[in-house]
Amino acid sequence: VVIRCQARQRLEQRVELLLIGVMPGETGNDAGNSAMVSTDESSNTPEVTDGSSATLEFLYELQYQSDEIRSQLESLVGMQLLQKEWDTDFRIVTLVFNVVFAPSKPMRNKATLAVQCTAGGLWKFPLVFIATEPEVDDVINIVAVGLNKESIVGFKLTSQTR
């Protein structure tokens, strides 16, 4: 999955992932097709429980190639599991995520979304986050007073960070 956004913009994108070969446990629960998202206070990994005849819980997290990439992307990327669809005939679960990407400068970084089913199974999906060049803020024109003579223009620069 490639998530591309212009720097200093915000992108919200839905990503559908197919988990093939999911084997549900035999715990019975006749609550219908409702889905429930609960977050454990000691972890940032939400669990999704399907209230159908088989209860499935999924844990997910973004994994980074290095601590440097983690420090760059962690504050710029947000993920939330929106829904889960279960196809019992083909043993396929479709997870729909909402991914928010708000880069402040141009970059290209890779991450891996690891999804684990408590009934068994681990799936890894490579993600690429690309932030392209931002739009030009302003144009500074310096008018020359003559050949081999100095021209000076003054302007203030401000930074969003220290």
**Structure tokens, 77:** 């990327």
Work out the mean pLDDT of the chain and round it to a whole number.
Answer: 80
Domain ranges of the chain: 1-23+79-132
Confidence check: pLDDT of 37 > 50 = no
- What is the pTM assigned to this prediction? 0.70
Mean pLDDT of 145-162: 84
Pairing of strands 58-64, 107-117: antiparallel
Output phi, psi for 131, to 5 deg. -115, 120
- Please tell me the predicted confidence (pLDDT) of residue 142: 81
DSSP state of 132: E
- Please tell me the predicted confidence (pLDDT) of residue 109: 95
DSSP state of 68: H
Percent of the chain with pLDDT over 90: 51
CA distance readout (Å), 88 to 35, 63, 116: 16, 29, 18
Q: Which of 19-28, 66-75, 126-135 has the lowest mean pLDDT?
A: 19-28
Cα distance between residue 16 and residue 94, in whole Å: 7
- Please tell me the predicted confidence (pLDDT) of residue 88: 81
Strand order in the sheet with 122-132: 2-6, 122-132, 107-117, 58-64
- Please tell me the predicted confidence (pLDDT) of residue 55: 63
- What are 123's strand-pairing partners? 115
Per the model's pLDDT, the better-predicted residue between 159 and 126 turns out to be 126
